[in-house]
Amino acid sequence: MSHEEKEILKHILRDQGQILRDQEENHRLVKKIEGELDHVASIVRKIERELRPHPQPLTASIAVQFSGESSMPNNALTLNVGQTSQASILPLLADGVTPSGGTLSAVSYVFADPSATVVLNADGLTATVTGVAPSVGAVTGTATATVTDTDQAVFTFSQAFTVTTLAVTPPPPAQLTQSIAVQFTTPTP
């Protein structure tokens, strides 16, 4: 091999060596860039999760409504011993008045005072309240329900309610005597 061929071969080998070194450096740079891209993608996913809207309930509260001879305020019942009332739960919007239209499930009523019983009905939504004995003031119970809103958001709410049981006062007996008269006997001589 001539000197000139040797020099050409030397240049080729040196160029190939440089190419290999450049390829190794490029490979290291690509790995570094891939690592940085993974980190950036992780940050972007975190930002996306934080920006994604969290479901907000349409329903803001629930109220316990009681049936009766007269209109009862929400969450409060007054009844006599022996009377019954039906309790039902109404999901409400933030104004506390407007029904939200949510669907109830997992309904429960807790009341632990001997003055009344609160028993869940077979429908699993309403309860029958029965006055058993006079209470000492208003006694507190709790109603709990899961509400599935019309947008499918699901939340659980609890609401305190009170039951006041009054003693039955019998009506006064019917008055038989309507008037009185003075009766005189015949005078004696």
pLDDT tens track for 93-139: 988 899 999 999 999 999 999 999 999 999 999 999 999 999 999 99
Q: What sign does the dihedral 10-15-20-22 (CA atoms) show?
A: positive
In this predicted structure, the answer to whether residue 185 has a pLDDT above a threshold of 80 is no
The secondary element (H helix, E strand) that includes residue 106 is strand 103-110
Q: Please report the pLDDT score of residue 170 as a whole number.
A: 67
What CATH number is given for 61-166 in this structure?
2.60.40
Task: Kindly compute the dihedral angle of the four CA atoms of residues 185, 186, 187, 188, in this order, to the nearest 10 degrees.
Answer: -110
The secondary element (H helix, E strand) that includes residue 62 is strand 61-66
The more confident residue out of 6 and 61 is: 61
Mean pLDDT of 161-178: 81
Q: Please report the pLDDT score of residue 55 as a whole number.
A: 61
Q: Please report the pLDDT score of residue 12 as a whole number.
A: 81
Separation of alpha carbons 89 and 109, rounded Å: 10
Q: Please report the pLDDT score of residue 164 as a whole number.
A: 95
Q: Please report the pLDDT score of residue 113 as a whole number.
A: 94
Mean pLDDT score of the chain: 88
Nearest to 68 by CA among 170, 172, 164: 164
In single-letter form, the type of residue at position 138 comes to: A
Task: Kindly compute the dihedral angle of the four CA atoms of residues 134, 138, 142, 148, in this order, to the nearest 10 degrees.
Answer: 110
Separation of alpha carbons 162 and 112, rounded Å: 11
Mean pLDDT of 167-178: 74
In this predicted structure, the answer to whether residue 88 has a pLDDT above a threshold of 80 is yes
Nearest to 154 by CA among 50, 58, 49: 58
pTM: 0.61
